Amino acid sequence: MARNTIVFTWIIIIVSILYFTFKLFYLNMIEADNFGSRIYSIDIQFTKNINLILYLILLSLAIITITLFILWFNRAYKNMHQRIKMLTYNKSASIYGWFIPFINLYLPYKIMAEMNNKANLIFVSNNYNLKPHDGEKIIKLWWITGIYNIFFILIYSLIHTYDIIDLSSLAEIIINVLIFLILNLYFIMMIRMIRMYEYKERVLRDIYPNGFSI
């Protein structure tokens, strides 16, 4: 599950690079056309169509990757429930916590942080060479970039849907670059977080060989 999630996440990063490259190229063509440069409409339409295809591919990959990640997340929390009875949330919270408005702004982070902290406590109590706060920065950065990404995409979508502000081509380019950087930072931090916790789960399986499912 973790390997598949990581593979699809890397594919998303690659496709997003192509998507945003074509989108920036398209915006530059529009800006050049506005300033009187000779840009053929067929070239603009072709670039726009390629960008639309890449967007649909990116959206499909995002749905698959998010589904795989939530399944991995749920399995990891169920595994922790097998060894620690006094966890803050029930097993199903690792699923519904992603879909309830406002709750999904903090609950998945709380669960991931709790899994990491409990794993660290088990390692320390079993004399493993690991710092008690290991992994906390990765989890925080993963969640912060995710929230910022949602915020930027939401604002950008509202502006375009309701024509709240007439954005210039330069403003469009700047916003798209910001979304691209934050989006890919989020995915990279997600990969790092999965790898980090997968390592911890391998160690936990050594400590409790009959207590964790793969």
- Digit-by-digit pLDDT tens for the chain (214 residues) are 789 999 999 999 999 999 988 888 877 777 666 655 555 565 677 878 888 899 999 999 999 999 999 999 999 999 888 878 789 999 999 999 999 999 999 999 999 999 999 888 888 888 777 665 678 999 999 999 999 988 888 888 888 777 667 677 677 788 888 889 999 999 999 999 999 999 888 888 888 776 654 4
Distance between CA atoms of residues 66 and 70, nearest Å: 6
The model's pTM is 0.85
In a domain, 16, yes or no: yes
DSSP conformational letter for 21: H
In a domain, 61, yes or no: yes
Please identify which residue in the block is written with the tokens 């496709």. 15
Counting the structural domains of the chain, the total is 1
Cα dist from 145 to 115, 142, 178, whole Å: 20, 6, 11
In a domain, 213, yes or no: no
In a domain, 214, yes or no: no
Is there a contact between 6 and 69 (Cβ–Cβ < 8 Å)?
A: no
In a domain, 212, yes or no: no
Short-list 112, 124, 21, 126, CA closest to 72: 112
Distance between CA atoms of residues 199 and 54, nearest Å: 34
In a domain, 158, yes or no: yes
Distance between CA atoms of residues 75 and 86, nearest Å: 17
In a domain, 77, yes or no: yes
In a domain, 172, yes or no: yes
Q: Which domain holds residue 60?
A: 2-207
